[in-house]
């Protein structure tokens, strides 16, 4: 259960209020992959107000303190992770860098942009973690530059078992302010979901890519 004073609880309130998270099992959303899913996340809506950007940064700082995470540099994933990484780096008063999905084909052909020295400890910031593929590519790119990367911070995660296994395989720990299971618990507690809706959403969680066909 999310404590009412936790960053995740406040994030759930804000995200649902803004429509940054939408849940509807009866009218599924089409993801970029083409799959029909009962949940949609758009954390870009959190960028519109300072208090929401600060909420995310304060949540990340709370996670870092609780987990004892030390960071010399904050890295944002391009593009959605960059603004939240910027706020966090400002609050921590440390360098900011960002990681492209792939190296540029011109200029210096960088994939990692900004000041980074070998041996520095880097914490990676992502907004949404679904399969984990993109953020783990960023981790690999940073490690390829000699950085020590053991932790990723995310705003929201669907918590797919395969995703968590990918992070374990890469020796990288994922910390998110809010997970899908926590969101369901929050919405159920708030009376936003009927029991039948809750059961449908739990079913999706166990088989997300086969859910719509069933």
Show the CA angle centred on residue 29, arms to residues 36 and 14, nearest 5°.
Answer: 135
**Tens of each residue's pLDDT in the chain, 214 residues:** 888 989 999 999 999 999 999 999 889 999 988 889 999 999 999 999 999 999 999 999 999 999 999 999 999 999 999 999 999 999 999 999 999 999 877 877 899 999 999 999 999 999 999 999 999 999 999 999 999 999 999 999 998 889 999 999 999 999 999 999 999 999 999 999 888 888 888 889 888 888 877 7
Rg of the chain taking only CA atoms, in angstroms = 17
Domain that holds residue 101: 7-206
Residue 11 lies in a domain: yes
Residue 212 lies in a domain: no
C-alpha dihedral, 114 to 118 to 119 to 122, nearest 10° = 20
Residue 116 lies in a domain: yes
**CA-based nearest residue to 76, from 50, 53, 108, 52:** 53
Report the CATH number at residue 107. 3.40.50.2020
Residue 211 lies in a domain: no
- Whether residue 212 contacts residue 36, with contact meaning beta carbons closer than 8 Å, is answered with yes
pTM: 0.94
């Amino acid at each position: 259960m999310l404590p009412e004073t936790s960053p995740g609880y406040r994030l759930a309130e804000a995200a649902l209020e803004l429509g940054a998270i939408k849940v509807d099992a009866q009218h599924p959303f089409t993801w970029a992959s083409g799959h029909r899913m009962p949940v949609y996340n758009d954390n870009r809506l959190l960028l519109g107000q300072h208090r929401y950007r600060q909420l995310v940064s304060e949540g990340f700082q709370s996670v870092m303190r609780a987990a004892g995470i030390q960071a010399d540099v904050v890295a944002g994933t391009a593009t959605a992770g960059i603004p939240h990484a910027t706020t966090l780096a400002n609050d921590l008063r440390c360098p900011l860098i960002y990681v492209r999905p792939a190296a540029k084909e011109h200029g210096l052909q960088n994939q990692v942009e900004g000041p980074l020295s070998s041996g520095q400890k880097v914490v990676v910031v992502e907004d949404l973690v679904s399969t984990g593929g993109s953020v783990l590519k960023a981790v690999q790119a940073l490690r390829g530059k000699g950085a020590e990367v053991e932790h990723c911070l995310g705003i929201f995660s669907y918590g797919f078992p395969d995703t968590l296994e990918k992070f374990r395989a890469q020796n990288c720990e994922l910390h998110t302010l809010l997970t899908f299971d926590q969101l369901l618990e929050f919405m159920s507690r708030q009376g936003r979901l009927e029991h039948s809706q809750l059961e449908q959403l739990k079913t999706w969680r166990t088989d997300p890519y086969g859910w719509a066909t069933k």
